[in-house]
Amino acid sequence: MRTGIAAIIGGGVIGGGWAARFALMGWDVRVLDPDPEAERKIAEVLANARRSLPGLADAALPPEGGIHYSTDAAVAVSGADWIQESVPERLGLKRDVYRTLQEHSGDAIIASSTSGFKPSELQEGAVRPGQILVAHPFNPVYLLPVVELVGTSANPPETLARADAILKDIGMHPLHLEHEIDAHIADRLMEAVWREALWLVNDGVATTEEIDDVMRLGFGLRWAQMGLFETFRIAGGEQGMRHFLHQFGPALKWPWTKLMDVPDLTEDLIETIAGQSDAQSGMHAIRDLERHRDTNLVALMRALKSQDWGAGAVLNTTDAVLRKRNGMVQRFDQITDLTRPILTLDRTVPLDWTDYNGHMNEAKYLQAFCDATDRFMEIVGCDADYIATGGSYFTAETHIRHLDEIHAGHRVRVETICMNGQGRKMHLVHQLWEGDRLCATGEHFLVHVSLDTRRPSDPSATIARQIAAIEEGHRNLPRPEGLGRYVGQPR
């Protein structure tokens, strides 16, 4: 089921990123761009997004929405729920575009990707100013979750609430600015760093590569997980931010930076910066650099995801939404048919799950089956709250059969059968499928234990009853292929 229709006005780098995110999150997309190369360019962006975005999710993305191209504004925006304007940063051009859009847009939200203009400037002269707001994203739009959402008093609260809900629906983290300001928040911060970097190159203090190394090998890693203020709070030691400000605050009066000035971008300085940048990374084509960037972003964000921190926490929230949308049960009382195997995993194989042979490595098969076991435990009631009371299941034996290759980008699912749930024992058989292709099976034997004594113990009456009901429902299923096989047994 499609979530909605998004019209993308301007198919450049940012517009193409919006198109990819909306489409991969299940929206139908219409692109309005006079560029005859727009379809080719967006297709390349979409290919990169298909390669990387599903790897951020531990739940399967919805069926991909279609992308349609038009040079007719009426066709592009008619019936749209969301209109994202990403035309060049010229205020007059944007206002002209809004006049045309509002002739055909109904009550759709018109959001601008502008990095500098305030929404009040965009709304000036509009027929329905409350329809227009700012939703400023970051490149690549299909991976980075934050988006600066800025409105004015002309925007009804319900319009801003609807914008917030739609952005969250496509896996983004809307940052709602209470007050409009030129360049919003992020670009003002980036501009400060950019100005100082230009001076360091202009004065011959550092090269472009040295400046990038300082960021990507130093404070950039800290900022990725904690931002600016939390990083400095830690720098204050046990006394926190107050101590940091007392200790390092006087340095703000020292002539360390030239933030109130910027070097003239002379041809010589432009050539110096461009030459150093070409030497630094010019051996890679732009699309190659984008793929390296995306692979690294996925790895960093998945690391944050495992800690439920920063951008990773946003991804975990999105996973919960996707699992619900995919029909995965969260609790025993949501199971509608106890006689069928239970879907315990439905996801896309991420880039970092593959090995030197190009297919999913052994450790990730185990991870997939462990995730499936964890999901089954949650369904029968052995969730985090129950474990906090002192009981859990420990895995005693595992047997995995590797039957067929799985590659990055494949959508896989695990269907779980409960063979035994009597007393303290739980015997599960997982089947890993890619479409109608059985790729692996995993057999897990678990024992319920007391976390106080670390010895076998009886589960709660609720868990025992729910596992027994599933076992009873699964009793008449065909015997799972490979059940009870030993390693090396002839086929």
Domain boundary among 120, 144, 177: 177
Over the stretch 455-470, which tens digit does the pLDDT of each residue have?
999 999 999 999 999 9
Same domain, 209 and 168: no
Structure confidence at residue 138 (pLDDT): 96
Same domain, 298 and 206: yes
Same domain, 161 and 266: no
Res 226 pLDDT > 90: no
Over the stretch 154-197, which tens digit does the pLDDT of each residue have?
999 999 999 999 999 999 999 999 999 999 999 999 999 999 99
Domain boundary among 132, 154, 177: 177
The torsion angles phi and psi of 245, rounded to 5 degrees, stand at -65, -40
Structure confidence at residue 280 (pLDDT): 82
Does residue 127 sit within a domain?
Answer: yes
Least confident of 38-52, 222-236, 377-391: 222-236
Strand bridging mode 455-456 / 67-70: unpaired
Domain that holds residue 259: 186-306
CATH of the domain at 168: 3.40.50.720
- Helices vs. strands in the chain: H and E counts, helices first: 17, 14
Same domain, 220 and 104: no
Q: How many domains does the chain contain in total? A: 3
Structure confidence at residue 232 (pLDDT): 82
Contact call for residues 403 and 439 (beta carbons, < 8 A): yes
Res 2 pLDDT > 60: no
Structure confidence at residue 1 (pLDDT): 39
The H or E element that residue 8 is part of is strand 5-9
Bridge partners, residue 132, by sequence? 110
Does residue 227 sit within a domain?
Answer: yes
Same domain, 38 and 145: yes
Res 251 pLDDT > 90: no
Over the stretch 49-78, which tens digit does the pLDDT of each residue have?
999 999 999 999 999 999 999 999 999 999
Structure confidence at residue 27 (pLDDT): 97
Structure confidence at residue 485 (pLDDT): 82
Same domain, 10 and 42: yes
Does residue 319 sit within a domain?
Answer: no
Distance CA 303, CA 224 (A): 11
Q: What b/e string do you get for 202-216 counting C-beta neighbours within 10 Å, with b at 16 or more?
A: beeebbbeebbeeee
Same domain, 300 and 238: yes
Does residue 313 sit within a domain?
Answer: no
Q: What b/e string do you get for 430-462 counting C-beta neighbours within 10 Å, with b at 16 or more?
A: bbbbbeeebbbbbbbebbbbeeeeeeebebeee
Same domain, 78 and 21: yes
Same domain, 16 and 145: yes
Q: What is the pTM of this model?
A: 0.86
The pLDDT of 413-422, averaged and rounded, is 95
CATH of the domain at 352: 3.10.129.10
- In percent, the amount of the chain with pLDDT more than 90 equals 75
Over the stretch 294-352, which tens digit does the pLDDT of each residue have?
988 898 999 999 999 888 999 999 999 998 888 889 899 999 999 999 999 999 999 88
The pLDDT mean for the chain works out to 92
Give the confidence band of 6 by pLDDT, cuts at 50, 70, 90: very high
- In percent, the amount of the chain with pLDDT more than 70 equals 100
Does residue 261 sit within a domain?
Answer: yes
Same domain, 113 and 237: no
Same domain, 168 and 225: no
